[in-house]
Structures are given as C-alpha cells and as structure tokens.
Amino acid sequence: LATVCALWVVLTAGFTGLLSFCLLSVAIGTDYWYIIDVHKPNSSSSEDYYSHSGLWRINEGRLRKFKIMLIFQFSTMSLFRIPDLHKMVVIILPLSLILLVFAWIMGLVSSLACSPKLLAGSAAYILFCSLFTLSGLCIYIRYSNKAMEEFQRVVPPETLSYVDVSFGWSLASAWLSFSLEIVTGLTLLLAARISQMKGHYDSGVAIAML
C-alpha cells in the first residue's frame, strides 16, 4: 500500500511540475501582463484605445484622438523607463524557467531511484526555484506600480477617469505557476516521507524474519 501511495504522490508531483513549467512558459511568451484601456464616456468605439504589454514588447491599438494616444503611449512606455527593475524581471523569470527544467529532471531521477534523500533534495530544489519565480513577480508588480505613479504624476485627474489600467492573464498564469511549484515541492516532500516510512517498515519485517 505504501508503494502505491508513493507512486501516486510522485506522479502527482510530476504532473504539477510539468504544468507549472508550461504555465510559466506561456506567461513569459505572451503579452498580457499589463493592460491599458482608454474609454471616454459618450464616445464612439473608434475613439477607444486598448493595448497590452508583456515582458518583451508592447502591442498598441489604434486611436484617432491624438491627445489620448499621447497619454496612452506615455503610460505604456513608462513601463520600460525603469530599466534596472525591468532587466531584473526579464532575467529572473527565464532563469526560473530553466531551473524548473533541471528540477523536473531531478524529480524524475529521484522518483525512479525511490530514494527518500533524493526526493527530499528534489523537493528542496523546486522550492528554491519557486523563490526565483516569486521574486520576479514581485519585482514586476513593483516596477509596474512605479510606472503608474509616474503616469499619475503627469496626467490630469480628469483624464485618469477614463483610463483603466490592470494586470492581465499572463501575470495570473505566472502566479498559478508559482503556486504549482510550491505544490510540487510539498508533494515530493510527502513522497520522501512515505518512502522513508516504507524503508523502515521493510527493515523491521526483515529483522523479524531473521
């Protein structure tokens, strides 16, 4: 029974680890981290403006009114006017993705070896990787808030009333990836504990048979 439980726990950890890697890959490669929507009341749809940005580029829509377009371009480009924070984000998150590859390999090897120490080591490594993901996300939110503070400083309050700024689903995907990294690490710790208990039980049975 312990062997079956350990197998299911390891399979669960492998699935959550792979899903975490996929979600972080999607988050890094998509451009819906930061969304700005300009919609002036009593205006036609042609006067609305919508754009979304990612870690690497900004996708801008169309707008006929020059004044609003300038406001929007300032708000989006201000994300990239804090170079130090932006560089940290685009380095830490891809690095976390690379570390997850090695973590998945380590987890696979330790599960095949059925070694409690290797499983515990893999769990600790994955939890360490999650710190990189968490750091990257926190830094991104920090530098986005700084960009918004700069935007609010130069834009009149009446203009801010029809500018909607929000985080997108790419950031949500990255947060979900971080959560799954934690789940994977804790699951591997559970697998290590089950394997250790199984080893003690097998040793006790062997001694009793002597």
What's the pLDDT tens digit per position in 171-190?
999 999 999 999 999 999 99
pLDDT at 46: 47
> Model confidence over 40-80: pLDDT tens digits?
666 555 455 677 788 888 776 654 444 444 444 545 555 55
Quote the tokens at residue 128: 């360490």
Of 126, 125, 114, 117, nearest to 6 (Cα)?
Answer: 114
% of the chain surpassing 90 pLDDT? 32
User: Could you tell me which CATH number the domain at 2-209 has?
Assistant: 1.20.140.150
Comparing 159 with 64, the larger pLDDT belongs to 159
Domain boundaries, given as residue ranges, for the chain: 2-209
Find out whether 105 and 84 touch, Cβ atoms under 8 Å.
Answer: no
Provide mean pLDDT across the span 192-210.
60
Instruction: For residue 38, give the H/E element and its range.
Output: strand 34-38
User: Which residue is it, tokens 């997850």?
Assistant: 100
Provide mean pLDDT across the span 152-168.
75
pLDDT at 78: 53
Q: Give the strand pairing for 58-60 and 49-53.
A: antiparallel
pLDDT at 166: 84
